Amino acid sequence: MSTSQHPVALSLERFVSDDAKLLALVMALPLVDGVFPAMILAGAVDDPIGAIQVGLLIFGGSATVAVILAEMDGSPREQAAIVLVVGLPLIALAAVQAALAPTIESVVNIAIFERFAALVIAAIAAHTASATVGEYIPNPGIIIALGLLASLEPSGAELAFEADPALIANGTLAAGVGVLFALTVAVAGPYLRTYMDIDRFRFGSAVALGLLPLSLLGMAFGEAPLAALLVAAVLSIDPQFDGEAARETLETAPRPDGGSAEDRSNATEPKVPDSSDSEDDTYPGDDSTDTAGRAPWL
């Protein structure tokens, strides 16, 4: 990444090189690996406030900010167009998954599955905070698959399609909030690239994600994850922070091979001797130092 070392975005960047595809992969990942359906089954989007909270933390969040600000090129209008191209199918797919969620709920034990859903969000928070910690934590998709196996109750269950209009509306609202968040970041990109510390926002987002599982488990945290995210966004804006200087520092920082890109480029250029180094081209035995008490031949 250009100005951020976001662990999730960096891991996904290995699979795609195009910035639009990278944004699509980052924003659609909760739909692909089952995190968003898990949030629906756990009751995280049962009300509009919860849907807004999930939209900002799951579909938006620090990974989306890092991709838009650090990877995407072009004017704010061009970036906003890319966000819309990615976001509209995202909203439609989120509505479909919200419509199918009650059908899946009829064959699983929700009390057991909620614990696995909370564990998934805690794993995502750990992946967001540190790439080193994330190496020792299973992939969220694996945790969700294990949760489905552990909570599956096929005996006596009837797999029938049941659509809840309110749940579909809240699921669509969650995805829409995430897309609106990405649009806001794209439009305000020139300002945010200059005055926003992306890594500071990343750690604040990890804290907000860490509070979300406690809220899912019924603890008295309510909208604390949303409040933590808003505080992280405010604290990450620093008028004295120079984003361009941070970008240049990262581009010239030492690489794992022991040198920076600038050092390697300079290493191939022949060194031209400086004329000031040999302004007096004297014989090695000649000493022009005028020191009292010293023999002239020394």
The pLDDT value given to residue 292: 54
The share of the chain scoring above pLDDT 70, in percent, equals: 69
The span from the first CA to the last CA of the chain, in angstroms, equals 60
The pLDDT value given to residue 14: 57
Q: In the predicted model, is pLDDT for residue 4 greater than 70? A: no
The ranges assigned to domains in the chain are 11-195
Mean pLDDT of 194-207: 87
Half-sphere CA count of 261, side-chain side, radius 13 A: 5
CA distances from 219 to 55, 117, 213, 222, 228 (A): 21, 15, 9, 8, 16
Cα distance between residue 80 and residue 97, in whole Å = 25
Q: Which segment, 31-45, 147-161, 169-183, is predicted with the most confidence on average?
A: 169-183
Tokens of 114: 């909620």
pLDDT single digits (tens) 28-67: 888 888 889 888 888 888 889 989 999 999 898 888 888 8
pLDDT single digits (tens) 74-125: 889 999 999 999 999 999 999 999 998 888 877 888 888 888 888 888 888 8
Report the chain's mean pLDDT, rounded to a whole number.
76
